[in-house]
Structure 1
Amino acid sequence: MIVSNKKDVKSVKIENPQAKDAAMKVLVSPKEGWEGYVMRVLEIEQGGHTPKHSHPWPHINYIISGKGILYLDGKDIEVEAGGFAYVPANTEHQFSNAGNEIFEFICIVPEEGHK
């Protein structure tokens, strides 16, 4: 069990040569008792992005703040605070900051999808 605040969780830079100015906070995982899933918050700085990639698991995203572009299956889709997306397994995707503030979103993946 855990009750906390994202401001109290340390950000870890995403170390991938295809990512730029992106970091992640792990909020809830099997370590806290949620077997099989991980809830993370990604923070993308102005001009930054996650890598363009696909993988064999889906994930769910909820936009907390800022504006971004979700590249999903060949299309660029504008997203903003309050928006959400389901990214199916094996679908190429990327999140990019399209605004002037930090673009922040929740990403929930199966445990196998968190590395």
Structure 2
Amino acid sequence: KEELRLAIQLKGEEGIALLAHWLTWTARCQIPAFVALGAKVRRHRVAIEASLCSGTSNALVESTNTKIRVLTRVAFGFHSPEALIAMAMLAVGGVCPELPGRQRTLSLELSAA
């Protein structure tokens, strides 16, 4: 388990080599959970290796989906979906409307950039 975690942390060719080593270990392993996990990783190996090479993941998408799911729970009492859409745009959409009677300070503009 720790070797798989290390392979994902290493990235690049080192990560791919360690992943291959871990997969050969799971093929010889007697623990059913690791055998099943190895089979799942083998099925998705091309995508995993592409992720190791490019360094991309779906963490940002998953985080955004979770935040929107929480906002959906909060918005159950609203009469229309427009309120949920507005909350989502404010929370995760990057919308920062000008507030009436207030001036934007330089520190706020720098933190938004």
TM-score, L = length of structure 2: 0.22
TM-score, L = length of structure 1: 0.22
Which structure's relative contact order is higher, taking Cα pairs within 8 Å and 6+ residues apart? 1
